[in-house]
Amino acid sequence: MKKSTVWDPLRKKEVALTPEEDVRQWFIRQLAEVMKVPMHMMMSETGFSLGEKKFRADILVYGRNAVPLAVVECKRPDVQLDNSVLEQAIRYNMVLNVKYIFITNGRQTFICRRTTGSPGYEFLQKTPLYEDMLLA
């Protein structure tokens, strides 16, 4: 029998295991194990507002100053990561003002770092460690 829920270590509760949630949980593990982000420096399903509209960030990574450092937008594996997904994350960043944007569908992951000047973001070829993200 297939599992219908999964433990979210950030929300500290069982949540419905949807295809997107599966990607979110995989990426939480990547953040913790590969990038060495401390669990207490991450939150999932964080709500915020842009004007009258309400949004939810899939995962936020915080710096030591409790200010958001990165936003992660997770999509189901069958969703193509195109400009519209990146534009969604950039819109979120109008409120969040983070240095890093991650978009992933579990099969592909793109990492952008905010730059000074135009175009404003650069794609990274290498996954940064948390400590390096803090220093950038």
pLDDT at 7 over 70: yes
**What's the pTM?**
0.90
Amino acid at the residue 98:
V
Q: What is the pLDDT of residue 22?
A: 96
Q: Classify 24 as helix, strand or coil.
A: helix
Taken in order of first residue, the domains within the chain and their CATH numbers are 5-135 (3.90.1570.30)
Three-state DSSP class for residue 37: coil
User: Best-predicted range by mean pLDDT among 2-6, 49-53, 103-107?
Assistant: 103-107
By the 10 Å C-beta count (0-12 exposed, 13-18 middle, 19+ buried), 1 is classed as exposed
Where does the pLDDT of residue 56 fall: very low under 50, low under 70, confident under 90, or very high at 90 and above?
A: confident
User: Looking at the predicted structure, is the pLDDT value of residue 111 above 80?
Assistant: yes
Query: Does residue 1 carry a pLDDT above 70?
Result: no
